[in-house]
């Protein structure tokens, strides 16, 4: 591919990549994916995530406590998250959010954790990275409460929620991130939601090792496959792949200001 694309959300520290991480990075670069943000979802895993970012040019990292994990770990503090921002390779807060699909029983703890992450994003100026599933009303309300207190930047990672939540996020100036789900044959409703969003608020991601787009669906995902989602996104917006790649890369640079190409 002759143009740059960015994988704004992957999990390179997961065991799925342990045996061939250099090859995974090389394939990503060959596919035009020049930069990646690898996400730490549990703070005990942070040393490995940081090591990966320091070992490969063009790889940055973010960290937070995933909502499905908050009940099993000591609560993170605003100060702990803010301290992470001292590393110039650290580019975002999260992922955090609400997941009532799998872990509704910990809803109250999730809400508390989400508010802590919002405050850290406000204090650092780094973008918040949101996971949302089955919790649209609470998510929209808490994000809006945070914006009223103090503005912050945010991306709705792997967006596949309702159009109402997507519109609420866009109205707050947030970004929607397009994953391989967008390319699934049965995802027309999601494609229609994206098509009604402004192109200057769209990011690309894999969420690898999950959610591989066709023709790799059902197998391990990896950053190189961002190219397949980029093609699907270009079709959604009715533009060329090169134009879509340029737009989403510019959006990434605008949101993840620390991760701009050198």
Residues whose CB is less than 8 angstroms from the CB of residue 57 and which lie 6 or more positions away in sequence, other chains included: none
Q: Is the pLDDT of residue 235 over 70?
A: yes
Provide the pLDDT for residue 262. Answer: 47
Higher pLDDT, 14 or 3: 14
Cα separation values, 81 from 77, 78, 251, Å? 7, 5, 24
Q: Residues 53, 36: contact at Cβ < 8 Å?
A: no
Answer whether residue 35 shows pLDDT above 50: yes
- Mean of all residue pLDDT scores within the chain: 96
CA 221 to chain centre: 15
Q: How far apart are CA 176 and CA 160, in angstroms?
A: 9
Cβ atoms within 10 Å, residue 91: 24
**pLDDT number for residue 73:** 85
User: Quick one: average pLDDT of 41-69?
Assistant: 97
CATH fold of 5-259: TIM Barrel (3.20.20)
- pTM, entire model: 0.96
pLDDT digits (tens, 9 = 90+) for 72-130: 888 899 999 999 999 999 999 999 999 999 999 999 999 999 999 999 999 999 999 99
Q: What is the mean pLDDT of residues 155-175?
A: 97
Q: What is the pLDDT of residue 1?
A: 59
Confidence of residue 261 (pLDDT cuts 50, 70, 90): low
3-state secondary structure of 69: coil
Cβ 256 vs Cβ 85: under 8 Å: no
pLDDT of residue 75: 87
Give yes or no for residue 181 having a pLDDT over 80: yes
């Amino acid at each position: 591919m002759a143009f740059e694309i960015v994988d704004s959300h992957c999990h390179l520290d997961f065991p799925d990549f342990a045996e061939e991480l250099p090859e995974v990075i090389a394939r990503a670069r060959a596919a035009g994916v020049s930069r990646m943000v690898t996400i730490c979802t549990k703070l005990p895993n942070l040393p490995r995530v940081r090591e990966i970012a320091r070992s490969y040019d063009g790889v940055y990292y973010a960290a937070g406590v995933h909502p499905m994990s908050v009940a099993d770990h000591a609560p993170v503090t605003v100060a702990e998250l803010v301290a992470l921002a001292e590393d110039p390779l650290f580019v975002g807060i999260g992922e955090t959010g609400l997941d009532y699909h799998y872990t509704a029983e910990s809803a109250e703890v999730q809400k508390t954790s989400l508010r802590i992450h919002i405050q850290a994003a406000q204090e650092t100026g780094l973008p918040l990275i949101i996971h949302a599933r089955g919790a649209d009303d609470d998510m929209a309300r808490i994000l809006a409460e945070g914006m009223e207190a103090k503005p912050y930047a945010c991306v709705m990672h792997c967006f596949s929620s309702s159009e109402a939540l997507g519109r609420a996020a866009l109205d707050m100036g947030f970004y929607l991130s397009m994953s391989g789900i967008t390319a699934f044959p049965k995802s027309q409703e999601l494609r229609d939601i994206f098509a009604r969003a402004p192109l200057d608020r769209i990011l690309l991601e894999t969420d690898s090792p999950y959610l591989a787009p066709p023709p790799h669906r059902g197998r391990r995902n990896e950053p190189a496959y961002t190219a397949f989602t980029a093609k699907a996104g270009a079709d959604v917006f009715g533009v060329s792949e090169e134009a879509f790649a340029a737009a989403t890369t510019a959006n990434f640079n605008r949101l993840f200001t620390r991760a701009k190409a050198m």
